Amino acid sequence: MTKRITIEDVAKEAGVSKGTVSAVLNGKNTVKPRTRERILEVMKDLNFRPRGMARNLKNGSEDRSIGLIIKDINYPFYTSIATGVREYAYNKGYQVVITSSENDHDCEKRVTHLFSTKDIKGAIIAPIVEGAAEIEHLFKLKMINYPFVLLEEVRGIQANAVVIDNLKAVRQAVKYLIDAGHRRIVHFAGPPQSSHTQERIEGFRYAFSETTLAFSRDMVVSIGSRYEDSYRNTMLYFKDKPRDQYPTAIVCFNDQQALAVLTALKELNIHVPEEISIIGNDDIYYAKLYPVPLTTIHAPLHEIGMRAAEILLRNIESPILLPPERVLLQTDLVVRESTRALLS
């Protein structure tokens, strides 16, 4: 069996005390930068992975757990992914600790630190992206060889990721609308820094490049992804806009945003799909139960969770550091009652 690398091994190789290594692991500012860099380099060379304070179970077997950090515990998108993670992990003898950052970046940082310093052997993370300066905690996980898988790619960091083909998905949705006779189509985009947002905007733009229709920047409107923000910004978008300038179709960032848009349009006495067609994204389980059953892009959420767990456990159980994996999953357009073809 491969010998487990310990803090003592790292301290000996780096020529420092165990306390100094522990201070680096715990993110304390008491270690000089050059010493910190040396310790992190040794950790990488030795493939050191922190071990927490967990004890063996009464039956003598090791308590094996992984973590899942989601963004919004109330959004079924993450519930479906969590089900996939748990199913795969449970079949391999792992328990899953699930927590939500509730879209709070500091909370995400605290939880990643907690997972990496306790005996949570790896993590699947739906990251909150607020610019390159805000992903230091993810770099730290890489530096200490802590296994993790992202559910959204983060610019500037090479890491395991399981993602969907957002560009192709939105491109397919827009093509469906254009083929159905729509010409005034807008995209209600999500958080600007999100790679999902940028990929979906690119897919929207690309769909127009394949037609004779012109794309303009005002066809992309950033309204956020959470219900409250999306509702408020939809009301603002339509405020004082003449009816003859309404779009005939809206492609939404996700299904949660789409519900907010449907609610706002109902209050504005704008009928769906008679006046405006709506397409969502994710196909969460209650999208078919919306006031108007939602045409949406079906993402394989359960499979996302299964594949992420598979990659994570492979990295946890490998005696050597593995190269990052990227899994790209495809989507399908599910047509329901929130869209209609325009009469020619």
Q: Concatenate the DSSP letters of all residues of 12-33 into one string.
A: HHHTS-HHHHHHHHTT-TTS-H
Which of 268, 267, 237 shows the shortest CA–CA distance to 250? Answer: 237
Task: Give 120-160 pLDDT, tens digit per residue.
Answer: 999 999 998 755 446 888 988 988 889 999 999 988 889 99
User: 309 CB contacts (<8 Å, ≥6 apart)?
Assistant: 66, 84, 85, 88, 89, 92, 124
The pLDDT of residue 199 is 95
Residue 150 lies inside a defined structural domain of this protein: yes
Are 309 and 85 contacting, i.e. CB atoms less than 8 angstroms apart?
Answer: yes
The pLDDT of residue 208 is 95
SS3 category, 279: strand
Low-confidence spans in the chain with pLDDT less than 70: 1-3, 27, 51-62, 130-134, 344
Q: Specify whether 242 is located in the same domain as 151.
A: no
How far is CA 93 from each of CA 64, 65, 78, 86, 319, rounded to the nearest angstrom? 7, 9, 22, 10, 18
Q: Specify whether 115 is located in the same domain as 179.
A: no
Q: Specify whether 23 is located in the same domain as 73.
A: no
Residue 182 lies inside a defined structural domain of this protein: yes
Residue 55 lies inside a defined structural domain of this protein: no
Residue 51 lies inside a defined structural domain of this protein: no
- Rounded (10°) angle between helices 18-25 and 33-46: 90
Q: Specify whether 85 is located in the same domain as 231.
A: no
Q: Specify whether 226 is located in the same domain as 195.
A: yes
Q: How far apart are the first and last CA of the chain?
A: 71
Q: Specify whether 181 is located in the same domain as 210.
A: yes
Q: Specify whether 268 is located in the same domain as 314.
A: no
Residue 33 lies inside a defined structural domain of this protein: yes
Strand bridging mode 220-222 / 185-189: parallel
Q: Specify whether 214 is located in the same domain as 277.
A: yes
Please give the structure tokens belonging to residue 184. 């005034």
Which of 276, 313, 297 shows the shortest CA–CA distance to 148? Answer: 313
- d(CA 120, CA 118) in angstroms, rounded, equals 6
Residue 324 lies inside a defined structural domain of this protein: yes
Chain centre to alpha carbon of residue 88: 19
Q: Specify whether 132 is located in the same domain as 251.
A: no
Domain count, the chain: 3
Are 59 and 93 contacting, i.e. CB atoms less than 8 angstroms apart?
Answer: no
Are 170 and 297 contacting, i.e. CB atoms less than 8 angstroms apart?
Answer: yes
Residue 1 lies inside a defined structural domain of this protein: no
Residues paired with 251 in a beta bridge: 187, 279
Q: Which domain holds residue 14?
A: 7-46
**In the chain, what is the greatest distance between 2 CA atoms, to the nearest angstrom?**
78
Residue 59 lies inside a defined structural domain of this protein: no
The pLDDT of residue 58 is 41
Are 95 and 61 contacting, i.e. CB atoms less than 8 angstroms apart?
Answer: no
Task: Give 248-257 pLDDT, tens digit per residue.
Answer: 999 999 999 9
Q: Specify whether 176 is located in the same domain as 291.
A: yes
The pLDDT of residue 130 is 59
The pLDDT of residue 51 is 62
Q: Specify whether 311 is located in the same domain as 267.
A: no
Chain centre to alpha carbon of residue 341: 32
User: 196 CB contacts (<8 Å, ≥6 apart)?
Assistant: 152, 166, 190, 253
* 47 φψ region: left (φ > 0), alpha (ψ -120 to 50), beta (else): left
**Domain CATH code at residue 195:** 3.40.50.2300
Are 104 and 47 contacting, i.e. CB atoms less than 8 angstroms apart?
Answer: no
Please give the structure tokens belonging to residue 216. 């303009």
Task: Answer whether 0.85 is exceeded by the pTM.
Answer: no
How far is CA 305 from each of CA 121, 166, 254, rounded to the nearest angstrom? 17, 17, 18
- d(CA 122, CA 278) in angstroms, rounded, equals 39
Q: Specify whether 38 is located in the same domain as 187.
A: no
User: 219 CB contacts (<8 Å, ≥6 apart)?
Assistant: 185, 186, 187, 204
Which element (helix H / strand E) includes 81? helix 76-91
Helices (H), 268-323: 301-317
